[in-house]
Amino acid sequence: LSGSQNRILDAAERIVLRDGVAHLTLEAVAAEVQMSKGGVLYHFRSKDDLIIGLIERLICQYDQQVEQLEGADEQPKGRKLRAMLRASFPEEPCEASRRTDRVCAGLLAAVATNRDLLEPLRERTRELRTYLTEEANDPVAAMIIHYAADGIWLNDIFGLPGLNNELRNKVVNRLVEMSKNV
Amino acid sequence: LSGSQNRILDAAERIVLRDGVAHLTLEAVAAEVQMSKGGVLYHFRSKDDLIIGLIERLICQYDQQVEQLEGADEQPKGRKLRAMLRASFPEEPCEASRRTDRVCAGLLAAVATNRDLLEPLRERTRELRTYLTEEANDPVAAMIIHYAADGIWLNDIFGLPGLNNELRNKVVNRLVEMSKNV
Amino acid sequence: LSGSQNRILDAAERIVLRDGVAHLTLEAVAAEVQMSKGGVLYHFRSKDDLIIGLIERLICQYDQQVEQLEGADEQPKGRKLRAMLRASFPEEPCEASRRTDRVCAGLLAAVATNRDLLEPLRERTRELRTYLTEEANDPVAAMIIHYAADGIWLNDIFGLPGLNNELRNKVVNRLVEMSKNV
Amino acid sequence: LSGSQNRILDAAERIVLRDGVAHLTLEAVAAEVQMSKGGVLYHFRSKDDLIIGLIERLICQYDQQVEQLEGADEQPKGRKLRAMLRASFPEEPCEASRRTDRVCAGLLAAVATNRDLLEPLRERTRELRTYLTEEANDPVAAMIIHYAADGIWLNDIFGLPGLNNELRNKVVNRLVEMSKNV
DNA sequence: ACTCCCGGGACAACCCGTTAGT
DNA sequence: ACTAACGGGTTGTCCCGGGAGT
């Protein structure tokens, strides 16, 4: 990703955060990066291309975070699951994680409309699933943890009435505990 | 819901199934019910109104199913959770359940774009959550089951590479087992 | 064709005449009929649709003229060819015929870009050809006359340096003479 | 024409053949010659310039062919007309002639949109016309042959339903015969 | 309880040509 | 001789809703 491309993606994220995906138009992005529409289109051949760029960058960032957390975990068992849980649900939600969540929420609409945009995620999901089920003594439990994480994420994303902080932390911690026995 | 309204909602579902949400336009719906656009708007004041109608009907159908399954379950503990699990993931997926899933997938895009459309779901989620956490001896486990169900559903909805049938059934069964101890 | 549709086609013709096909945009048409783009699009679902409408109307008008001239010709031999020649190249070019020519010139660009637009012409050409070759004693001569007419028309259309009036009339007259022996 | 220019024109022709004029964009040409758009514009100051280049090269090739055929014809009377007929309608259409035809068809759209592009043709048409009418004993017949050729060409170009091969050859042969008496 | 027309606004995609740099 | 980046502008298409009429 070139410098301009990153600047454009940054602008796109800002728009999603500020105004919602519905307002993520090429024009808006162009205005936000202070560039002409033609300029934006030079770096991303289509709007879908841009959205895919957005998603891929997000995935990449998430992966890095997971990898880092994984490295810091001494217990090998369920290490990856714990890393994912911690990456998705940090004990004290920082600004960055909130931001990511909201961007994801926005992109959800985009991918739901056009399944092709999910492509970058598909392969990854497949790999992850294989890893989780083959590495674990109890693949069923592993998948439950994984699915539960997705569920929490989905509810967060949609701003559905969530649990109070205390209970929520308990849920995440329980999942973390469970991960030690997979 | 009047007869015409139901016919319109049926048409809308058909369109979502056949062409995807992106093609769910008032014009398309009108053509599908063999009515003019004005006619459709006579029954639903706006497009959002129609989508809300779609969602509410879907929720209603789901609730009925859950209630029915709940009635058939003799063991009181975690009865509702089991009913929900079975309603969402029938042992042998029938045509109707597949259909519902795909409609939901479509609507996901709509609600992700416009949060107001989620309104009908909010209150229900709140109630459900209160019920699950207060009724259960182990609220944390109850929520995990609930979240896991959402996670599975999300993955299904997006057509992400799923588990093979065997493993998937094991996951659901394990959740069912867990529900007996909440 | 409804009243509005005809008014729109009229406007489109006016634009082609005045500004050239390159300026035949939906927006321009809308402005010319004093209607919104949405209004125009209600009557013609796409620009191509509008152009096809233009062509069909033109063909229809030409056919009527030919039919009329054919009726007025007592000699049966080559009657149709003569009618076509006279319709295309009136002895004293009137305003209407010039207008038609220039509209055709404009549309040429459109059809050359998108062959589908020619569809309305194809069937007609086929019929005409069959008629000319089967009805004539000398089909070869008939086709030559027909082709020559097309050639003259093409040169006119493109505004290529034409013959002086005298010679041109001689050419047309010779074709008329030839038509009497087919 | 420099080497690069010819390579660019070749690429442009390939695009017209493969995708139609509508896709003849500077970008596409650049991609086809494996050069940047700027590079193309370095050799042709504008798109129109490029199209004119295309047309001029085509004309030039046609002229060479005509000249050659003219040289091979011993009978002086109507020699040029016969050469043109044979150049345009070879007895057995070769690959090259088909190709040329299709390129012309494509360019038709371009010139119909922008008359300025015809400029290179105008002078030539004028000269040709003068030559044909002054050289011939029967200028009217000469022009009819010329026009008929244009007509056949036009019909070919547009892919309008043509005559069967037999009849078509008869038509061309008759024109050739006629040319011997001009 | 509808239908026919229409207004109005938005957006993606496309494409040409220029300029700074090498 | 050529590239990368960008500006600026255009156009087709789409879609929602309102309003007059029946």
B129-169 pLDDT tens trace: 999 999 999 999 999 999 999 999 999 888 888 888 899 99
Nearest neighbour of C171 by CB, restricted to D113, D140, D170? D140
Name residues whose C-beta falls within 8 Å of residue D103's C-beta, 6 or more positions apart in sequence. D13, D16, D17, D54, D58
Is the Cβ atom of C80 within 7 Å of strand E at any atom? no
How high is the pLDDT of residue C160? 86
Is the Cβ atom of A45 within 7 Å of strand F at any atom? no
Residues of C in contact with D106 (CB under 8 A): 112
Residues of chain C below pLDDT 50: none
- Placement of tokens 């420099």 in the chain: D2
How high is the pLDDT of residue B171? 96
- d(CA B162, CA B177) in angstroms, rounded, equals 21
Is the Cβ atom of C174 within 7 Å of strand F at any atom? no
| D30 CA – E22 C1', rounded, Å | 20
Query: Are the beta carbons of C126 and C137 closer than 8 angstroms?
Result: no
B163 CB within 8 Å of a chain A CB: yes
Q: Is the pLDDT of residue A124 over 80?
A: yes
Q: What tokens does C140 get? A: 């070869």
Closest-approach residue (CA) in chain D for C121: D160
In angstroms, the Cα distances linking A74 to A69, A77, A180 are 10, 9, 11
CA closest to C1' of E13 belongs to A46
The verdict on a CB contact (< 8 Å) between B21 and A170 is no
Torsion of CA C55, C58, C62, C64, to 10 degrees: 110
Residues of D in contact with C118 (CB under 8 A): 158-160
Nucleic acid strand E: bases within 7 A of protein CB: 1-20
User: What 3 state SS string does chain D have?
Assistant: CCHHHHHHHHHHHHHHHHHCHHHCCHHHHHHHHCCCHHHHHHHCCCHHHHHHHHHHHHHHHHHHHHHHHHHCCCCCCCHHHHHHHHHHCCCCCCHHHHHHHHHHHHHHHHHHHCHHHHHHHHHHHHHHHHHHHHHCCCHHHHHHHHHHHHHHHHHHHCCCCCCCHHHHHHHHHHHHHHHCCC
Mean pLDDT across chain D, nearest whole number?
93
Residues of C in contact with D108 (CB under 8 A): 108-109, 112
D128 CB within 8 Å of a chain C CB: no
Nucleic acid strand F: bases within 7 A of protein CB: 1-20
Residues of A in contact with B140 (CB under 8 A): 167, 170-171, 174
Give the predicted TM-score (pTM) of the model: 0.91
In angstroms, the Cα distances linking D172 to B151, C17, D149 are 75, 36, 8
Q: What is the largest CA-CA distance in chain D?
A: 55
The verdict on a CB contact (< 8 Å) between B144 and A146 is no
D167 CB within 8 Å of a chain C CB: yes
Distance, in angstroms, between A92 CA and closest chain B CA?
A: 19
B134 CB within 8 Å of a chain A CB: no
Residues of C 28-57 whose CB lies less than 7 Å from any atom of strand F: 37-38, 41, 45-48
Predicted confidence band of residue D165 (pLDDT cuts 50, 70, 90): confident
Radius of gyration of chain A (CA): 18
Nearest neighbour of D155 by CB, restricted to C150, C160, C171? C150
Name residues whose C-beta falls within 8 Å of residue A63's C-beta, 6 or more positions apart in sequence. none
Mean pLDDT across chain A, nearest whole number?
92
Query: Are the beta carbons of C3 and C89 closer than 8 angstroms?
Result: no
- Mean pLDDT within A54-66: 94
- Placement of tokens 């044979």 in the chain: D86
| C9 CA – E9 C1', rounded, Å | 24
Name residues whose C-beta falls within 8 Å of residue B32's C-beta, 6 or more positions apart in sequence. B11, B12, B14, B15
Is B24 exposed, middle or buried (CB count within 10 Å of its CB: 0-12, 13-18, 19+)? buried
Residues of D in contact with C121 (CB under 8 A): 160
A161 CB within 8 Å of a chain B CB: yes
Is the Cβ atom of D26 within 7 Å of strand E at any atom? yes
Mean pLDDT across chain C, nearest whole number?
92
Q: Tens digit of pLDDT for each residue in B16-71?
A: 999 999 999 999 999 999 999 999 999 999 999 999 999 999 999 999 999 999 99
Radius of gyration of chain D (CA): 18
The verdict on a CB contact (< 8 Å) between B133 and A22 is no
Q: Is the pLDDT of residue A102 over 80?
A: yes
Q: Tens digit of pLDDT for each residue in D92-137?
A: 878 888 888 889 888 988 888 888 888 888 988 999 999 999 999 9
- d(CA D98, CA B14) in angstroms, rounded, equals 49
- d(CA C106, CA D24) in angstroms, rounded, equals 20
Closest-approach residue (CA) in chain D for C128: D161
The verdict on a CB contact (< 8 Å) between A158 and B105 is no
C139 CB within 8 Å of a chain D CB: yes
How high is the pLDDT of residue C112? 84
Predicted confidence band of residue D162 (pLDDT cuts 50, 70, 90): confident
Q: Is the pLDDT of residue A93 over 80?
A: no
- d(CA D63, CA B22) in angstroms, rounded, equals 55
At residue A45, the 3 state secondary structure works out as coil
Distance, in angstroms, between C132 CA and closest chain D CA?
A: 11
Closest-approach residue (CA) in chain A for B153: A151
The verdict on a CB contact (< 8 Å) between B159 and A20 is no
Q: Name subunits touching B (3+ CB pairs < 8 A).
A: A
| C56 CA – F4 C1', rounded, Å | 48
The verdict on a CB contact (< 8 Å) between D171 and C143 is yes
Residues of C in contact with D113 (CB under 8 A): 20-22, 109
Work out the number of other CB atoms within 10 angstroms of the CB of residue B129.
20
In angstroms, the Cα distances linking B136 to A25, A152, A169, B86, B143 are 47, 19, 17, 19, 10
The verdict on a CB contact (< 8 Å) between A108 and B106 is no
Residues of C 97-116 whose CB lies less than 7 Å from any atom of strand E: none
Closest-approach residue (CA) in chain A for B126: A161
More confident residue, D68 or D158: D68
- d(CA A82, CA A76) in angstroms, rounded, equals 10
How high is the pLDDT of residue D66? 94
Helices then strands, each counted (H, E), chain A: 9, 0
Is the Cβ atom of A31 within 7 Å of strand E at any atom? no
Work out the number of other CB atoms within 10 angstroms of the CB of residue D97.
15
How high is the pLDDT of residue A164? 87
- Mean pLDDT within A104-122: 87
Q: Name subunits touching A (3+ CB pairs < 8 A).
A: B
Residues of D in contact with C143 (CB under 8 A): 163, 167, 171
Is the Cβ atom of B63 within 7 Å of strand F at any atom? no
The verdict on a CB contact (< 8 Å) between B151 and A146 is yes
Q: Which helix (H) or strand (E) holds C20?
A: none
Is the Cβ atom of C37 within 7 Å of strand E at any atom? yes
Q: Is the pLDDT of residue D144 over 80?
A: yes
How high is the pLDDT of residue D152? 94
